[in-house]
A and B are shown apart, each in its own frame.
Chain A
Amino acid sequence: MAEAIEMQDRESTQEYLHRNNTKRAMTGVYMVWLRDLKRFWRDTPRRIGTTVQPIIYLFLLGTGLQAAFRVFGGGNVQFIKFMFPGILGMTVLFTSVFSAISILWDREFGFLKEILVSPVPRASVAVGKIFGGATQAMMQGVILLILFPFLFGFSLNSLAKIIALIPLALLLAIGMTSIGVAIAANMESMEGFPVIMNLLLLPMFFLSGAMFPLQGLPGWMTVLTRIDPLTYGVDMLRGIALKGVNVTGTTSSIISKIPKNLAAQISPQAKAAIAKVTPKVSIQTQRYPLWLDLLIVVGFSVVMLGIAIWQFNRQE
């Protein structure tokens, strides 16, 4: 008799859990996400810093490197245009990953316990945190994308590119925030987190081709760039952003340095010969097919999301 009652109880328990699972999971994600955004929005210095940072990267770093390229014989290479998708990737990357420090922050100040002891599934807490971080990264991404037409022209083409870039950057942001969450779930130390993250991130970032073209590298480094999932993310962003854009421009030909009256006297054959020996500066904007980039980025983000949820679930 008692056993029968227990069985019945157990059944209704299962049923109850099942009925409420989806709603529970959704509200959990939403509340955790909303709280992170509220915290972000109320932190004025952080908000200002977040807005200004990508602009600094784009204009100071981009302009500096563009000038450097010209000095080293890059002709009128549009390096700032080449850099743009890389800076977009970099901004998303760093903001995403470091947003996970909020988990350590919550742990230090006890709020994490309040969340963990609530009846909301841990997985939705992890997903809420990941979406929160990804949203913050995308705010920065959007600020950069607002500047996109200033570099690439105000056209329907630019608009289409911006619209395509937003979901792709978001995908990357989700994968990167997941890395942060997975690591933060296993850490206690607020001081240790940035150190560990930089140890992991900087190689990923440098090998991704965000800052320089992955051309003419030594063989071992080329191998590493192919292992780095971020390479495909940056390649994807760059492929879209620079489609149909000639960043190479015209080569810095010796002919252009020859005074006009003299140039007129040079025979077409001679001109062709000069052009042949002039080193061409040609920057690859897409190294891998877009479908491969997309496949790898989606796979990477899904796997990282899974790992983050698993690691977050595991903690006591």
Chain B
Amino acid sequence: MSEAIVKVDELVKNFGELVAVNAVSFEVEKGEIFGFLGPNGAGKTTTISMLCTLLKPTGGRATVNGFDISTDKHLVRESIGLVFQDPSLDDRLTARENLEFHAVLYHVPRNIRESRIEEVLDMVSLDDRAEDRIETYSGGMKRRLEIARGLLHYPKVLFLDEPTIGLDPQTRNYIWDYIEGLKKREAITIFLTTHYMEEAEHCDRIAVIDNGNIIALDTPENLKDNVGGDVIKLKTEDDDGAKEELTRRFPDLEMLADPECKLCFKMEKGEEFIPDLIRDFGTKIVSVSLHRPTLDDVFLQLTGKEIRDEGSDTKSGMRVARMRANR
């Protein structure tokens, strides 16, 4: 195990009666992409806000880069980069001016400021739009610039709160390419929140959070393995005969008790089993399908409910839409 760069110990945040974060404890290791996965209102942003010193914890303690978030606020602030869920650029300034403002606030020395700005602009492919005001930017460009800004002062930990919310799939992929490339190039730890399952797949480790509690914390693979292997679904010309043949040839096989699917069974490493299965199979096979468990299945199993996706979360969606429209 490598060194922990974020240590969280029994962190609590209450808003009046509401317990937003309920004594969560976890550690983030140096250099990993750590994801907070959970529905809207689970406490993801509240936790991030506390770690970034924007909210005072009600209880518990945490350190970021070795500095206490309650007593060494300035040192924590210097150690982190932050991309907020909601847009946070000054739209009357140009991209370069936004970055200059940030560089000065974060004490990037004057002699390297210019080259650093060029570097991050280049990284997010906005170098040709550097002199344009932000009001002329699209949502995806703003997001990219915000990520560039978050990296400008070479933070030890980059916090990304829902980095791709409200973006189209193409831009979303684009941003993920940056994040993964970033992890390869820089010695940087990335802490992100998301409620998109497919995004959580990019993380080295995921904490599943619901109602202010962490209910699971592991690599995406382990989480999915814990759901219990792949599901293989077989269609044949004679299902009863096939079933009899299956149980005879593979006595250990665990058939699913699903009336909709007579020939469904769970199998670890299903892709390696399929060749064995279809070789010399007596009954004629019409189709074989393999369903890998997704993080949706993980979430469903852990909480007994499906994660609400963006579409059903009208309030937050509307808020973002309104903010973007106003800019």
A residues with a Cβ closer than 8 A to B are 9, 13, 16-17, 20, 23-24, 27-28, 30-31, 35, 38-39, 42-43, 109-111, 113-121, 316
Contacts and interface: CB of A to CB of B under 8 A. Distances in A.
A130 to B, nearest CB: 18
Given A28-B105, A109-B326, 17 more contacts: A9-B66, A16-B75, A27-B107, A30-B104, A31-B105, A39-B90, A109-B87, A109-B323, A110-B84, A110-B86, A110-B88, A113-B84, A113-B88, A115-B105, A117-B53, A118-B102, A120-B105
7 contacts: A24-B107, A110-B86, A110-B87, A113-B54, A117-B82, A121-B74, A316-B56
Contacts of B72: 13
A111 B82 CA distance: 12
Contacts of A115: 105
Contacts of A42: 92
Given A13-B75, A17-B74, A110-B84, A119 B92 contact: no
Interface in B71-112: 72, 74-75, 77-78, 80, 82, 84, 86-93, 97, 101-102, 104-107
B288 interface: no
Nearest to B82: A117
Nearest to A41: B92
A30 B107 CA distance: 13
B107 A117 contact: no
B91 A117 contact: no
Label chain B's interface by main secondary structure. Answer: loop
Nearest to A116: B54
A118 B106 contact: yes
Nearest to A112: B88
Interface of B: 52-56, 66-67, 72, 74-75, 77-78, 80, 82, 84, 86-93, 97, 101-102, 104-107, 323, 326-327
Contacts of A20: 107
A76 B82 CA distance: 66
Contact of B88 (A23, A35, A38, A114): A114
B87 A118 contact: no
A9 B63 CA distance: 14
A119 B91 contact: no
Q: Which 6 A-B pairs have the closest CB atoms?
A: A110-B88, A118-B105, A119-B77, A119-B78, A114-B88, A110-B86
A231 B88 CA distance: 41
Contacts of B92: 38-39, 42-43
Given A27-B107, A109-B87, A38 B93 contact: yes
Q: With a 10 A CB-CB cut-off, give which of A35, A114, A316 has the most chain B CB atoms.
A: A114
A316 B54 CA distance: 6
A35 B74 contact: no
B179 to A, nearest CB: 20
B74 A119 contact: yes
A169 B259 CA distance: 85
A78 to B, nearest CB: 43
A174 B294 CA distance: 59
A117 B74 contact: no
A259 to B, nearest CB: 67
Contacts of B56: 316
Nearest to B89: A111
Contacts of B55: 316
Q: With a 10 A CB-CB cut-off, give which of A27, A28, A30, A110 has the most chain B CB atoms.
A: A110
Contacts of A30: 104
Nearest to B74: A119
A119 B106 contact: yes
A27 B101 CA distance: 10
Given A24-B107, A110-B323, A113-B84, A31 B91 contact: no
Nearest to B53: A117
Given A117-B54, A119-B74, A111 B90 contact: yes
B91 A109 contact: yes
Contact of B77 (A16, A31, A118): A118
Contact of A38 (B78, B97, B326): B97
Given A110-B84, A119-B74, A35 B93 contact: yes
A103 to B, nearest CB: 13
A227 to B, nearest CB: 37
Contacts of A119: 74-75, 77-78, 105-107
A109 B91 CA distance: 9
B52 A117 contact: yes
A109 B327 contact: yes
A40 to B, nearest CB: 9
A193 B58 CA distance: 30
Given A109-B91, A111-B89, A114-B88, A27 B104 contact: yes
Contacts of B107: 20, 23-24, 27, 119
A16 B101 CA distance: 23
B90 to A, nearest CB: 5
Nearest to A27: B104
A198 to B, nearest CB: 24
B296 to A, nearest CB: 31
Contacts of B67: 13
